[in-house]
């Protein structure tokens, strides 16, 4: 081949390749199959819309297809009392609940949910975990359990009674069949309350049929949000706890298999959830006490309610004897209560 013919042929070939490259359609590179988690919360549908769904929606959006968390509400996949075991087995990947309700097999599970008078305000929970050592104790306790990783704790609403009949004295509590948390029920039984355990979705109907006389599971915000204010008539302003303590947990294999950036994203979204609840409950409790039209407020006099607080001190000491780690938690509660009392207003008013 002559040199000139070769150059002509080469030039034509290069032009053809260039034209093909310019005109070729764009083909998107294959992406990996997204990681999928199933997370079940303790909360029913209307409540989950506030206590977890916003943060999970944010996670899925920011994860940008790398990971998707499917959210399930109370008892949708497994009963609440079986959540821990289901998570251990990998049936579900993560849980949002209190330690008490899911029967976590640790000696500090009793402190999840509403431990009587451990907190007065919702901010007490993050302070106790992040400044008084509860985080390290929870990590230690769950570090001894195979298959489950404890991730984070946060605060919810205070524990009040909403009832069909008014409660104006301790005597009015006697014989009342009340839906509540395990430890809270154990404590309240000292005053004649009959604790009842039912699936979350059955509570409203159980009040309507007379199976329940009331509920000690929440503050007034939840009463209105989930429909309990529609089937009860009264709200007791006295409470046995200023904030519910709930946590996020994950199956250890599911958690450890996540890349570091997705673990960090989940931590940030948990914090977002904790923050949302702080203002949603705090504002809602005051607004509905003052402007809500469905529940009439009642109160037990302070001098009579002091008997409940004194009984709580005995309860604390009894729990402290159950294990060295439980004793350590009680010691922290006592230290914290003393600091808050000494600090005075606005930390404590009495």
pTM score, two decimals?
0.89
Does position 7 have pLDDT exceeding 70, yes or no? Answer: no
Tens-digit pLDDT profile for residues 36-87: 999 999 999 999 999 999 999 999 999 999 999 999 999 999 999 999 999 9
Interior angle at CA 131, CA 128 and CA 134, nearest 5:
50
Written in H, E and C, the secondary structure of the chain is: CCHHHHHHHHHHHHHHHHHHHHHCCCCCCCCCCCEEEEEEECCCHHHHHHHCHHHHHHHHHHHCCCEEEEEECCCCCCCHHHHHHHHHHCCCCEEEECCCCCCCCCCCHHHCECCCCCCCCCCHHHHHHHHCCHHHHHHHHHHCCCCEEEEEEEECCCEEEEECCCCCCHHHHCCCEEEECHHHHHHHHHHCCEEECCCHHHHHHHHHCCCCCEEEEECHHHHHHHCHHHCCCEEECCCCECCCEEEEEEEHHHHHCCCHHHHHHHHHHHHHHHHHHHHHHHHHHHHHHHHCCCCEEECCCHHHHHHHHHHHHHHHHHHHCCCHHHHHHHHHHHHHHHHHHHHCCCCCCC
Give me the CATH topology for the region 35-155+244-293: D-Maltodextrin-Binding Protein; domain 2 (3.40.190)
**Nearest Cα residue to 334 out of 313, 305, 318:** 313
> Residue 29 above 80 pLDDT?
no
Q: What is the pLDDT of residues 291-347, one digit of tens each?
A: 999 999 999 999 999 999 999 999 999 999 999 999 999 999 999 999 999 999 999
pLDDT at 18 over 60: no
pLDDT at site 349: 79
The domain limits of the chain are 35-155+244-293
Q: How far apart are CA 152 and CA 277, in angstroms?
A: 14
Residues 6+ apart with CB under 8 A from 310: none
| β-pairing verdict for 160-163 and 234-236 | antiparallel
Q: Say how far apart CA 96 and CA 249 lie, in whole Å.
A: 6
Average pLDDT, the chain: 93
d(CA 176, CA 161): 11
**HSE (CB half, 13 Å, CA atoms) of 184?**
31
Please tell me the distance from the alpha carbon of residue 184 to that of residue 180, in angstroms, as a whole number.
Answer: 7
| Whole-angstrom distance, CA of residue 132 vs CA of residue 339 | 11
> CB–CB of 122/282 below 8 Å?
yes
pLDDT of residue 32: 80
């Amino acid at each position: 081949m002559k040199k000139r013919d070769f150059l002509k042929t080469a030039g034509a070939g290069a032009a053809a390749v260039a034209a093909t490259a310019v005109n070729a359609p764009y083909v998107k590179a294959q992406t990996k199959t997204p990681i999928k988690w199933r997370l079940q919360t303790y909360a029913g549908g209307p409540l989950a819309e506030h206590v977890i769904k916003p943060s999970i929606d944010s996670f899925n959006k920011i994860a940008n297809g790398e990971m998707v968390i499917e959210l399930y509400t109370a008892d949708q996949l497994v009963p609440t009392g079986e959540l821990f075991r289901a998570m251990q087995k990998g049936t579900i990947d993560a849980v949002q609940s209190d330690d008490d309700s899911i029967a976590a097999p640790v000696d500090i599970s009793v402190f999840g949910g509403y431990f009587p008078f451990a907190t007065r305000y919702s901010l007490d929970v993050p302070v106790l975990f992040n400044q008084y050592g509860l985080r390290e104790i929870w990590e230690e306790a769950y570090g001894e359990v195979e298959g489950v990783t404890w991730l984070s704790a946060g605060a919810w609403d205070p524990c009040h009674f909403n009832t069909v009949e008014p409660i104006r004295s301790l005597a009015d509590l006697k014989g009342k069949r009340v839906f509540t948390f395990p430890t809270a029920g154990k404590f309240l039984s000292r005053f004649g309350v009959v604790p009842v355990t039912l699936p979350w979705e059955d509570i409203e109907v159980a009040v309507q049929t007379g199976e329940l006389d009331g509920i000690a599971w929440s503050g007034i915000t939840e009463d209105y949000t989930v429909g309990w204010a529609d089937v009860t008539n009264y709200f007791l302003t006295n409470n046995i706890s200023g904030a519910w303590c709930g946590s996020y947990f994950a199956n250890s294999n599911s958690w450890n298999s996540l890349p570091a950036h997705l673990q960090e994203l989940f931590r940030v979204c948990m914090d977002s959830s904790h923050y949302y609840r702080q203002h949603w409950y705090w504002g809602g409790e005051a607004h509905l006490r003052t402007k809500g039209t469905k529940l009439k407020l009642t109160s037990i006099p302070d001098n009579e309610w002091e008997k409940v607080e004194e009984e709580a001190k005995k309860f604390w000491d009894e729990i402290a004897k159950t294990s060295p780690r439980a004793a350590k938690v009680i010691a922290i509660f006592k230290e914290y209560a003393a600091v808050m009392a000494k600090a005075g207003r606005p930390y404590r008013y009495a």
